[in-house]
Amino acid sequence: MGRPEAAVTLSFEPSERFRAAAAEWGDRRHVAPEEAFEVKAEQALLEVEYLVSGATEVEFDVADGTVAYDPSPELRALLEERAEEVGLDPAVLLGLYVDLFASVFLEGGEA
């Protein structure tokens, strides 16, 4: 049997667009800003991870506005492949993918 792949933590700071969407989501639900940020980060990471690996749960950390996440082997491989193609760091790409889902679950589809 092969060795399990070592976890690689990717850290990124979500965009202002993401932060604004999280704040709006929290305001509408009377949720504290920190909690809203974490909920939206979880939703976005889960959307990305599900599309790539089929995962239905994600675990991550948030500290000082930075999200740290250990992607699945499938997502990590995709990020590394795309990063090499475009000359960006895999963590930057993950942040961009997360940003795509910034306004998911807002009423009316507002961005």
Q: Are the C-beta atoms of 71 and 8 separated by less than 8 Å?
A: yes
- Check pLDDT > 90 for residue 102: no
Helix axes 73-86, 33-53, angle to 10 degrees: 90
The 10s digit of each residue's pLDDT in 37-56 is 999 999 999 999 999 999 99
pLDDT above 50: residue 3: no
DSSP letter, residue 30: T
What confidence score (pLDDT) does residue 1 get?
47
Q: What is the pLDDT of residues 60-97, one digit of tens each?
A: 999 999 999 999 999 999 999 999 999 999 999 999 99
How far apart (Å, rounded) are the C-alpha atoms in residues 88 and 3? 28
Q: pLDDT by residue (tens digit) across 6-17? A: 678 999 999 999
b/e map of 51-71 (b: 16 or more CB within 10 Å)? ebbebeebebeeeeeebebeb
Q: Three-state DSSP class for 82?
A: helix
